[in-house]
Amino acid sequence: FGNSAVRTFFEDRNRILWVGTKGSGIYTFMHKGESLLSKFVQHFTTENGLLSNSVFTIVEGQNSEYWIGTDGRGINYFDTRAKKLYTLFVSDSLQRKVNLSSVYSILPGDANTLWVGTSGYGMYKVEIDRSTKPYSITKHTQFHYKTGNSSSLSNNIVYSIIREDTNYLWIATRGGGLNRFNCRTEQFQNYRYSSNSPDFISSDDILCLYKD
């Protein structure tokens, strides 16, 4: 990886390890038998379609693709059937309305929905059309911090999104603590650090969430 830090990794169903770095793109490795050794397979960079060589997240989608969030503008995905890297298409009219930059977190919803966490632009709900090549965005909703509104997202820097169940998401922010999001009402419940309750949440800077 040279001098690049590892920002994310993901093992696919074929036991291929995808490693996203801060500055050197994505490296993939294959297990060698039952040993702990691995074999280098492929390297993805901006030269073959990656939007940025700083990669923040790689997650499996609902339909033979891996979604990739980077420090660039937009979202990449790898089509496992075509074995090719694509960029999610955004029309000129939507380009002026949606700013999918610095994508730190992607949570696939149903087959045609993505929840996207960004650094500085809050969270997006993105609906996609799979009939186009590459896939395209048909609709989006942006959720962002609103001063004085306790039912809005608590900070526009979103680092992690996980699902509680079909109705609720949990969202981690840098500086805004934790949010529980009601997908039906589209309201947020904020959880923040308080010196009065030090055993509740230890910091408003949250980097990662994981449901055990």
Please give the Cα distance from 21 to 56 (Å, whole number). Answer: 7
If residue 127 lies in a helix (H) or strand (E), which one and from where to where? strand 123-129
Kindly provide the residue ranges of all beta strands, DSSP E only, lying in the chain, ordered along the sequence: 6-11, 16-21, 26-31, 38-44, 55-60, 65-70, 75-79, 84-87, 103-108, 113-118, 123-129, 136-143, 158-163, 168-173, 178-182, 187-191
Provide the pLDDT confidence category of residue 2 given band limits of 50, 70 and 90: low
Q: Is the pLDDT of residue 82 over 90?
A: yes
Residues pairing with 57 in the sheet? 69
Other C-beta atoms closer than 10 Å to the C-beta of 68 total: 31
Predicted confidence at residue 127, as pLDDT, reads 95
Residue 95 scores a pLDDT above 80:
no
Q: What is the pLDDT of residue 144?
A: 95
pLDDT single digits (tens) 71-81: 999 999 999 99
Q: What is the pLDDT of residue 150?
A: 85
Q: Are 19 and 26 in contact (CB under 8 A)?
A: yes
Question: What is the distance between the alpha carbons of residues 193 and 157, in angstroms, rounded to a whole number?
Answer: 17
Q: In this predicted model, what pLDDT tens digit does every residue of 106-138 receive, in sequence order? A: 999 988 999 999 999 999 999 999 999 999 999
pTM: 0.92
Please say whether the beta carbons of 158 and 117 come within 8 A: yes
Which pLDDT score, from 0 to 100, does residue 1 have?
63
Structure tokens at 89: 């298409």
pLDDT at residue 32 in the model: 75
Q: Is the pLDDT of residue 7 over 70?
A: yes
**pLDDT, tens digit, for every residue of 14-48?**
889 999 999 999 999 998 766 667 888 899 999 99
State pLDDT tens for residues 138-186.
999 999 999 988 899 999 999 999 999 989 999 999 999 999 999 999 9
